[in-house]
Structure 1
Amino acid sequence: MAIQVSTEILEGSVLALLNQQDYYGYTITKKMQRSFPISESTMYPILRRLKKSSWLSTYDQSYEGRNRRYYQITSEGKTRLNEIKADWEKIKLATNRILEETDDR
């Protein structure tokens, strides 16, 4: 993908995933990698930033003798997700309008 994906789009995508269900960090990264060329070293700072902003909370759960840190969207995160979705719709419509214009001259 040659177009650089903004931090806000990545954050919104993470919030959208977690709006479906809780995931641990590795699973979030793998799901994001299905759509974006993103590394683990990029994902964890995004998760930390979302948590610091109170858009995510975490909890640990034991799995095969090890703890996994799960991420969960908060009510503030759901509000932020709705804001990002609204902004995305505006940007998408404006971009499509320009990119799909035809010149009938």
Structure 2
Amino acid sequence: MFGEGGCNVNFVTSQSEGDISVRTYERGVEDETWSCGTGCVASVLTDYYKNRQIRNYQVNVRGGQLKVEFTPLGDQGYKDIWLEGPATFVFKGEITRGEGLELMK
């Protein structure tokens, strides 16, 4: 239904005006992630589009709290979108030659 590559899904709950909680199931990970910046921004802009109340949001995710600010341009979209929050190292991986992976040239 969502194509061969799948898709990310965000589950959003509005806590109060400008305060939402987001949980994200991320393709590739095939599980819930602690935070997804793109998903959080999309969730904020969707909430604003639906409710048109506030332009400074607090977003609660499993990994902590994020802040999203933006400037709406009416029907023309948004500009000056800022995502702010802590960056925490959670994973290290390595890809080496000879493991059946094709490398881009």
Q: Which has the higher strand share?
A: 2
* TM-score normalized with structure 1 length: 0.30
* TM-score normalized with structure 2 length: 0.30
Q: Which has the higher helix share?
A: 1
